[in-house]
Amino acid sequence: MSIPGQLDPSPRLLLGPGPSDAHPRVLAAMATPLLGHLDPQFLAIMGETQDMLRRVFRTKNTLTFPVSGTGMAGMETCVVNLIEPGDRMVVCINGVFGQRMTDVAQRAGAAVTTIERPMGEVFDLNQVRDVLSKVRPKVLGIVHAETSTGAWQPIEGLGALCHEWDTLLLLDTVTSLGGVPVAIDEWGVDAVYSGTQKCLSCPPGLAPVSFSPRAVEAINRRKAKVQSWYLDMGMVQRYWGEERFYHHTAPISMIYALREALRLVLEEGLETRWARHQCNHRALKAGLSALGVGLATVEDHQLPQLNALRIPAGADDAKTRKHLLDEFGIEIGGALGDWKRKVWRVGLMGHNSRPNVVLLFLAALEQALLVQGVKQTPGAGVAAANRAYVA
Amino acid sequence: MSIPGQLDPSPRLLLGPGPSDAHPRVLAAMATPLLGHLDPQFLAIMGETQDMLRRVFRTKNTLTFPVSGTGMAGMETCVVNLIEPGDRMVVCINGVFGQRMTDVAQRAGAAVTTIERPMGEVFDLNQVRDVLSKVRPKVLGIVHAETSTGAWQPIEGLGALCHEWDTLLLLDTVTSLGGVPVAIDEWGVDAVYSGTQKCLSCPPGLAPVSFSPRAVEAINRRKAKVQSWYLDMGMVQRYWGEERFYHHTAPISMIYALREALRLVLEEGLETRWARHQCNHRALKAGLSALGVGLATVEDHQLPQLNALRIPAGADDAKTRKHLLDEFGIEIGGALGDWKRKVWRVGLMGHNSRPNVVLLFLAALEQALLVQGVKQTPGAGVAAANRAYVA
C-alpha cells in the first residue's frame, strides 16, 4: 500500500463560523520543540497562560485554564462539574448551541427546563426572571454569541438576577471571547467556556474555562463524583494549581499556541480589538447592503465577528460557496436548522477582522453573484465599504 | 501589567515516560496553515489519517480515528461507550493505568472487579480465565505497556479467551503503539486506545482509538445514551464516517501532526521500527548494567521503549534528575507509587530510540553519578553499549 504524500493544503481564507485562520505567529509557536509537561519551564508557561486568560476573560478567578479538548469539551466540563444527577438546570435556546447544552446537561442527569427564542433573536431579563422564579434551578446556561445565528446576547444584569435565586450562571463565550466585550467578574458569571479557534486566531484544540468562587464551592460540595474522569475539575485543578500534581499529559504545543494568541490579544489591547471588530463589521455590512444582501439576525444584536447573510434571490447556496472556495480559496459557512440554504455565515474573527479581508470578500462575492446572474450595481459593495472605512 | 515575552524554551531531550520529542517533520507540519474542518481537502486528510492508523494498529476496523483529547480521553472514550450503568467489567491492575481505568469505569457506572499483579510484573492467561469464568463481565480491560513500570503484557490468546465468555477485550496501547508489535485484529482486541506523544513522536493532544465490529454492535445495542456528549461514538463516527456530519471542530493542526507522524512510521516500516526499539534498548541495558544499574521490571517482560531503572545505592533521585536536566537538558522521569524515589523511568520512544541518544544518556548519567560519588568504572557504560551495537 502506498503512503500519502507530503501535507500540502491549498491556501485558504477561513471566513466561516470557525475555525478562523490562525495568526502566523501562533502557527510558528506550534512548531516549537516540546518541553516535558512537568518541566519547570513548562509550568511557568502554564502560569503565564492562565494569567493572560484571566485578563482576557476579565476575571480574578483562580480556577481559570484551558481544558484539553475543543470548545464542546469546555461546555461539557462546565456542565458535568456543576450538575449532579437530579439537579435542575435551565437552558436558554435560540440556536444550535443552546440545544446542545440541553443534551449535554441531560446526559449529566440534570432535570432540564428550556426557554426559547426564534433563531436570530435574543432573550430579555424578564423572560429569564420568569423561569428562574418558577424553576429555581441550580444552573442557568446561556450562549453569549450564538455561532449558528450571529445573535449577540446581552449579559449585563444576568448574574445578579441568577444570584437572587441562588442560581449559578453558565456562559458560552466560544465565539465571543476576543471579539466583543466579555467581563466575567463584572457580569457575575459563575462558569464560562470558550474555544481557541474563533476570535483568538489559534487552531482548534483547547477550551479556556473559568469558575467563580461560588462555582468552586458548589463543586466542592458535590456528593457524587464527577462522571468524567478526564474533565473532573477536582483533579485537573491540582495540575493547573500550585500542587502541579500529574493528571493527564497537557497538549503542550496547543498551549504554546494559546499563549502566543493571548500575547497578541493583550499587545493589541482588548478595547482596540473590540473596536476593530466593530469597524470591519460596519464596513462589511455597508458593502453587503449595497450588493442587496441583508443580515438575518435581529438589528441591534448582530455580532460583528459572525455575520448571518440572507442569501439573495437568484443565488444558490452551494454554488456560491463553491465558487468562493474554488476561485478564491475563501471558505464561508452554510447555515444550520431552519436557516439552511437561506443564510450564509461569514466570520470576521480575530486576525481575519481586517480591511483586506472585507474588501476582498465583497469583491469575490460580487463575482460569485455575477456568474449566477444576480442583479447588482458593479463595484457597489467595495465602494460602500470603502466609504464606511473613510467616513 | 506586563505581557510575557516570546516563547523561548530551553532545548530538551525528552527521555521520560512521555511526552517524547516530536520528530522535526511533525513539528513542521504543526505550523501548516489551517483548512476548515469540513473542507474537502481536510476530509481527505482525515481519511488518509484513518487509513494509516488502521495500518499501524493492524486492523480493518472501520471505526478507527483519533479522539480530540489526550490518551486519557481515549481511555474514557472506550469505557463510556462500551459500559452502561450496572455492566460488569474486570480491570487488570499492575500499575497506575490499571488503577485509573478502574476509576473511569466506576464513574461510568460499571460494577468493577479487579485482579492484580505487583508493579513490574504481568498477568498470565490462567489468572484471566479464572476471573472471566467467575465474573462473566461485559468488558475486560488490560494495559499492554504499563507506563508506570515498563512492564510488557503479552496479549496473544487473550481475545479468544475473552470471546469464549462473551467478553469484550479493551486494550491500552498508549505507550506501545509504534514501539512494539500491536496487532489488533490478530489478537481479537475489541476496543483500543493510544496516545500520540509516546512512540509516534508527535505532540500530546490526540488519542487514536479503534473499535471492532463486535464492539460497534455493543454500542449500537445500548439502551442508555453515552454519558459524554463529547466522546459519544454514535455521533463522532458520523463526522469521521461517510456522512461527515458536523459534531465538534476537529483539532486540525494536531491531525496534521499525527498524519505526518504516521507517514514516518510507515516509511520506516513497522517491523524495522520495532527492531530499532529493541536494538537501542539492548544497548542501553548493556550500558546500564556496566554502570551497576539494573532494571526493576521483571526480566522477559521489559518494554524496550520504557526502561525502569533501579536507582543505585548512593544516588539521589531528585539530584540526579536535576543534574541531567540542568547540565544536559535531558529529562527522565521519576516513578509513581511504591517505586517512588527507588526507580527512574527512561523512555527511548519513537524518534528518540537511536544510538546518539543512548550513548549521550549513558555518558551523562555517568557524570551525574560521579558528582554524587557513586562508584563505577569510568567509561564503562558507553563502552558496553558500543560493544552491544557492534556485536
Q: What is the pLDDT of residue A245?
A: 86
Q: What is the pLDDT of residue A241?
A: 87
Helix (H, G, I), strand (E, B) or coil at B195: coil
Residue in A4, A18, A55 closest to B263 by CB: A4
Q: Does residue A197 lie in a domain region? A: yes
Q: Does residue B1 lie in a domain region? A: no
Whether the predicted pLDDT of B244 surpasses 90: no
Do A356 and A299 belong together in one domain? yes
In terms of pTM, does the model score above 0.95? yes
Alpha carbon A319 to chain centroid, angstroms: 27
What's the sign of the alpha-carbon dihedral A228, A231, A232, A236?
positive
Whether the predicted pLDDT of A61 surpasses 90: yes
Yes or no: say if B143 and B301 are a contact pair by the CB < 8 Å rule: no
pLDDT band of residue B22 (cuts 50, 70, 90) is very high
Residue for cell digits 436557516? A339
What's the sign of the alpha-carbon dihedral B239, B245, B249, B255?
positive
Q: Does residue A102 lie in a domain region? A: yes
Out of B267, B294, B321, pick the residue that ends a domain: B267
Do A228 and A338 belong together in one domain? no
Q: Does residue B6 lie in a domain region? A: no
Q: Does residue A199 lie in a domain region? A: yes
Strands ordered across the beta sheet of B168-172: B63-67, B207-211, B191-193, B168-172, B139-143, B88-93, B111-116
Do A152 and A234 belong together in one domain? yes
ipTM attached to this prediction: 0.97
CB atoms A107 and B72 under 8 Å: no
Task: Give the model confidence (pLDDT) of B252-285 as tens digits.
Answer: 999 999 999 999 999 999 999 999 999 999 999 9
Q: Does residue B193 lie in a domain region? A: yes
CB atoms B227 and A230 under 8 Å: no
pLDDT band of residue B215 (cuts 50, 70, 90) is very high
Residue B157 belongs to what domain range? 24-267
Q: Does the CB of B72 have a partner CB in chain A at under 8 Å? A: yes
Do A127 and A258 belong together in one domain? yes
Out of B228, B251, B267, pick the residue that ends a domain: B267
Q: What is the pLDDT of residue B231?
A: 97
Q: Does residue B9 lie in a domain region? A: no
Whether the predicted pLDDT of B391 surpasses 90: no
Number of H helices, E strands in chain B: 14, 13
Q: Does the CB of B329 have a partner CB in chain A at under 8 Å? A: no
Q: Does the CB of B363 have a partner CB in chain A at under 8 Å? A: no
Do A309 and A250 belong together in one domain? no
Task: Give the model confidence (pLDDT) of B47-69 as tens digits.
Answer: 999 999 999 999 999 999 999 99
Do B63 and B194 belong together in one domain? yes
Do A147 and A258 belong together in one domain? yes
Q: Does the CB of A183 have a partner CB in chain B at under 8 Å? A: no
Do A249 and A292 belong together in one domain? no
Residue in A3, A14, A34 closest to B19 by CB: A34
Chain A positions in Cβ-Cβ contact with residue B227 (cut-off 8 Å)? 107-108, 227-228
Do A274 and A339 belong together in one domain? yes
Q: Is A70 left (phi over 0), alpha (psi -120 to 50) or beta?
A: beta
Chain A positions in Cβ-Cβ contact with residue B48 (cut-off 8 Å)? 4
Do A283 and A257 belong together in one domain? no
Show which of residues 121-180 on chain B sit within 8 Å of chain A, judged by CB atoms.
none
Chain B positions in Cβ-Cβ contact with residue A18 (cut-off 8 Å)? 249
Distances (CA, A) of A383 to A216, A289, A362, A370: 52, 11, 10, 17
Do A219 and A285 belong together in one domain? no
Do A184 and A331 belong together in one domain? no
Out of A267, A302, A337, pick the residue that ends a domain: A267
CB atoms A227 and B108 under 8 Å: yes
Total domains present in chain B: 2
